[in-house]
Structure 1
């Protein structure tokens, strides 16, 4: 059975992606940082619906732990054929919000390790099993293209991840591996509480500004990730799929 490794899969977009990929026939390695109970619930739900899954604790800012995650997932569930780099680094004990010049350097370092270092480490570890149809997807936000108050370190790291995706897409393409990213708008997840003092107000504002009239759900992004991990996306690579209900058009 083909296996997908997903970081940040205990909640939000990662959780929804785990369910979507399990539905599509992947065994799922549920990577989580702190909330073991939530990760166990994801595994239990997938198992009760006839799928295969296992939970693995890791800090995605640690490259060695990322490599071990992929190794252990492959050993327990089967060869890793899809890598979904989704962890945000929120709630890690290192505050991420602040103006560009007021944000301490260690916060930038933490965000770059979380967004870029983990992506590179995960793909490097999975590389031997990805040839001939392997899939790599990372999630970012449309905050890379605009000013979002307090978002400097996060946006910079996500923008760097976007660039890495393009390089990996070219360098791995000859071996049949696709590398893409999903760029989401405002999505109703628990993580909003980590970046906004008033998440309900943020969701309402986003809904008013979005042509489709609502903020996003984790499932909105998860279905796009699942598509990019599927057979039908075999000729899409190095691309950012903006999934924001049209918000960035205004």
Structure 2
């Protein structure tokens, strides 16, 4: 029996085909809730995660959704509400490709596109799901951000600057929608042995070395250590936690 408690309905994960989002999708299903999720282009990975949901004895629903297209995001959220009756938890686990370079070396359009993907994309998610959470009597929103917000590391601006906007949107929702029994939290992701951190081409002395030297535990985090934190915050177990940014970074931000 799962240690995480969820009500009837479904969790909705935006970005459920990647390494981080896919792990969250699978754990949510194993925890006894139906799961709907979006993907960008990786249909094969999405289908594998959908099968994992069904193998866990739950119902799944997937869709390719451009988060910059507000009507498309709203339509997918409405489809999920119609299929499952209620959306009780929303997880934002998506983001653009991570460019590692000094912020003044970034091309302006790359900077604009990254801001759009994170801040505008998350804003569209909120516009689409908050009405459904209100209608269902409340629920949770959990956004994956970065441990580089409180402790900046050189060349990580294209990650930390947009994710800071995501974090403040969570703070706004926690404050403004708390009376509607809606919680909003962030998980500040550190160096995890999966996902974008494994795709960075970082030479000796580069960003990965800088991160590792500053992690108090001296090791990357295991993926399950991140997934467990996300599932906990999304669940009813965390019913009195809202407006927080929980670091999963091995003491990097301490």
Could you tell me which runs of 5 or more consecutive residues in structure 1 were left unpaired when the two chains were aligned.
none
Instruction: Specify the SS of the correspondent of 2:99.
Output: coil
Is 1:192 the counterpart of 2:197? The answer is yes
Query: Whole-Å Cα distance in 1 between the matches of residues 42 and 144 of structure 2?
Result: 20
- Residues 218 and 7 of structure 1: is their aligned pair in 2 closer, same or farther, counting only changes over 3 Å? farther
Q: Which moved more, 1:20-29 or 1:225-234?
A: 20-29
User: Match of 1:88, SS?
Assistant: coil
Alignment-derived partner of residue 183 in structure 2: 178
Match of 1:222 in 2: 227
* Range that drifts further, 105-114 or 161-170: 105-114
- Name stretches of at least 5 consecutive residues in structure 2 with no aligned partner: 1-7
Equivalent in the alignment of 2:24? 17
Are 2:114 and 1:114 aligned? no
Alignment of 1:50-65 (within 5 A): 50-65=57-72
Residue 105 of structure 2 corresponds to which residue in structure 1?
102
Q: Per the alignment, do residues 186 and 72 of structure 1 end up closer, same or farther by CA in structure 2, a change over 3 Å counting?
A: same
Counterpart position of 1:38:
45
- The answer as to whether partners of 2:174 and 2:183 remain within 8 angstroms in 1 is yes
Measured after TM superposition, the shift of residue 202 of structure 1 is: 6.6
Rounded Cα–Cα distance in structure 2 between residues aligned with 1:190 and 1:239:
23
Q: Which residue of 1 aligns with 2:96?
A: 89
Q: In 1, are the aligned partners of 2:81 and 2:132 still within 8 Å (CA)?
A: no
C-alpha displacement at 1:52, in angstroms?
1.2
Aligned mates of 1:134, 1:241 — CA distance in 2: 18
Which whole-Å CA distance do the structure 1 matches of 2:209 and 2:108 have between them? 33
Q: TM-score, normalised by structure 2?
A: 0.86
- Matched pairs, number: 244
The alpha carbon displacement at 1:38 in A equals 0.5
CA deviation map 1:186-237 (0-9, x unaligned): 11124225433459x9767755543334201332111111111111211111
